[in-house]
Structure 1
Amino acid sequence: MKIRFGYVANAVDIWNGSPSKTLTFARYSVLPKNERLEKLKSVTAQNLYNTKRILYYNIAHEIYLYRFSSSLVPLATHPEVMWDFITPFKKEWEEIGELVEKFKMRVSFHPNQFTLFTSEREEVTLNAVKDMEYHYKMLEAMNSLDKGLINIHIGGAYGDKNSSLIRFHENLKKLPNEIKQIMTLENDDKTYNVHETLITCEKENIPMILDFHHFMANKGDDELNLYLERIFNTWNTFHTIPKVHISSPKSDQAYRSHAEYVSLEFVRPFLQMAKELNRDFDIMIEAKQKNFAMHKLVEEVASIRKVKRLTSASVDW
């Protein structure tokens, strides 16, 4: 069983390397009109440059699983801005995609919690579609649609889960099919648990990303071993192996918050369970210390008896 590890957005030891530099609408609005577009371009150029720096770091450290920042482009979906962020950076997007292609990276985006398809309000659904289109356009500009995923949660329950799930299936019809073909769903830590998310994925033929920390925070009476094989099987018709999110609680009092690093003790029961399936999969580390947390966990997993380290960011068990 081969496991590859990756991390989210920032390599914390790259100086001034954030790919998520922002420009608020309030700040944008007070700029002279003839300076607004240049400021948008300037911030985007910095984010794309830092993304390339991070990808080179990943290549040097044999890290081929990476989640792009969703904040690469400031105000990309703001209704009063909506600017062309592809054409001015055609070369930069393609350069990023060339790195992804050459080194066979698995990349993804994770839109924020407001990108949901369970709301009764049509404008919320339309904004969700718009946000998904924004992420799709970035992958398209990189020529990385075959390497990339867009992962979201089901959304809110609004006091009635059954009705909200029915709305999810109806509202999802408004998402263009080419975007749906590269989307995934993830169980969350408060509302839709592993079983509910799995049923939804199976119905829509969408791969499911298991978030183990979310499962532990929102498990109810469910036992993960009853569902893990089915979760992995949602990837059978997709173009790549299953993917899992791993983090651990900040504390007992802040159980849902991510810790700085990942506790091997916390995640080891899941790893043992996955080992029984003997199936390759990828792990995305969601910890505050980003790549540092990933390196630390790989070291610790590699120290387990019968685990063989293959590269800086992969093991065989």
Structure 2
Amino acid sequence: MLGYPCLNRTLRDRSDPLRCNRSMQKKTYESRGLPYVSDLTRQNFADLYEILQWNLDHGIRFYRCTSELVPWNSQFELSALPDYGEIETLARRCGDLIDEAGMRLTFHPDYWCKLASDSDDTVERAVTAVEYHADWLDLMGLDRSPYYGINVHIGATYGDKDATAGRFCEAVRRLSPGARRRVTVENDDKENLWSVPELTEQVSERTGVPVVFDYHHHSFTDRGYTYREAFEIAADTWGAVRPAVHYSEPKRLREPTTRPQAHAESVADIPAWLCDHADVMIEAGSKERALLAVRDGLDVRTNEA
């Protein structure tokens, strides 16, 4: 399966836009409180269903949902929302569609989710973030499996990789079963950070957390392995679950002055072996449009072959 993350540009650009990332600033949260959070959450789950239905209608069965689905969820339990009953119904409707259609939905908390930080407060916030993402998946009734993953980076070394890996593993062990069974960890895009073999040896073998192979990131942390070799190392950490991978192309291929880590607006191709053995999240600026364009090209080449 091919997927795309978060924003559907086609639906967002309509006169009546659909989006599931309605949120607010801290000042607004403090002044308007849970009733406003509840209203936004209700709208977000309603629009998530419509986005998933659009995806299904267009043959897209892999989607990464925004981490703003329930705004400010670090501050309250889901059941405290005034519209909780309606929200639960809307969430289960999304989950039923996902389950019945054989779709895959994942989350990817942002850089602030640092389970391996050397700050206890930062780790506590990261654990809370993983837990509430797991609560959303539970609310949708989806299996507690990395198939519905909550993907994170270690994202730093804090001057001591062994100690950092140890803190990450300890934080994973602190998670509730529903959160722990869904966590995945991704290789980084800076040479001194975390590669696929390092994550496999220092995290996956100690905790069972699967490694998400990011194709573009591997160019920064290859450690002498080819793309396919690194993918196979990561894929072995998934057990019976089909691996999820990320694929993007560097923006500097078309704009040489941009950062080497930046993603291009589209992708020209995806290696056949990657599509054959994993579900591929396409990380490109044009989102679902990039997916549809590259899929059309792959279909043409398959038919020609």
The two structures have a TM-score, normalised by structure 1, of 0.84
| C-alpha distance after superposition, 1:256-303 (max 9, x if no partner) | 111111232xx5xxx25548xxx5321011111110010111122223
Letter in 2 for 1:187: N
Q: Is 2:144 the partner of 1:142?
A: no
Contact (CA 8 Å) 1:154, 1:197: kept in 2 or not?
no
Contact (CA 8 Å) 1:151, 1:185: kept in 2 or not?
yes
What is the 5 A alignment of 1:108-257? 108-146=106-144, 148-190=148-190, 191-199=193-201, 200-236=203-239, 238=240, 240-251=241-252, 252=256, 253-257=258-262
Number of the residue aligned with 1:312: none
Correspondence for 2:64 among 63, 67, 72: 67
Q: Which has the higher contact order (CA 8 A, sep 6+)?
A: 1
What is the 5 A alignment of 1:16-55? 16-29=17-30, 31=31, 35-55=32-52
Number of the residue aligned with 1:313: none
Correspondence for 1:263 among 264, 268, 272: 268
Contact (CA 8 Å) 2:8, 2:288: kept in 1 or not?
yes
Distance 1:214 1:176 in 2: 30
Letter in 1 for 2:120: E
Number of the residue aligned with 1:100: 98
Give the number of equivalent residue pairs.
289
Unaligned runs of 5+ in 2: none
Letter in 1 for 2:26: F
Distance 1:154 1:189 in 2: 11
1:87 to 1:116, Cα distance in 2 relative to 1, 3 A: farther
Contact (CA 8 Å) 2:130, 2:179: kept in 1 or not?
yes
| C-alpha distance after superposition, 1:173-210 (max 9, x if no partner) | 21223321121111111221222122222332222110
Moved more, 163-172 or 53-62: 163-172
What is the 5 A alignment of 1:2-21? 4-14=1-11, 15=14, 16-21=17-22
Letter in 1 for 2:117: S
What is the 5 A alignment of 1:295-314? 295-304=292-301, 307-308=302-303
Contact (CA 8 Å) 1:10, 1:17: kept in 2 or not?
no
Of all paired residues, the percent bearing the same amino acid is 27
Q: CA deviation at 1:218?
A: 3.1
Q: SS where residue 145 of structure 1 aligns?
A: coil
Moved more, 126-135 or 201-210: 201-210
Letter in 1 for 2:259: A
Contact (CA 8 Å) 2:64, 2:107: kept in 1 or not?
yes
Contact (CA 8 Å) 1:6, 1:283: kept in 2 or not?
yes
| C-alpha distance after superposition, 1:103-162 (max 9, x if no partner) | 111111111112122112211111111101100110001001255211111232112222
Q: SS where residue 26 of structure 1 aligns?
A: helix
Contact (CA 8 Å) 1:245, 1:285: kept in 2 or not?
yes
The two structures have a TM-score, normalised by structure 2, of 0.87
Q: SS where residue 74 of structure 2 aligns?
A: coil
Distance 1:280 1:272 in 2: 9
Distance 2:233 2:303 in 1: 27
Distance 1:177 1:132 in 2: 11
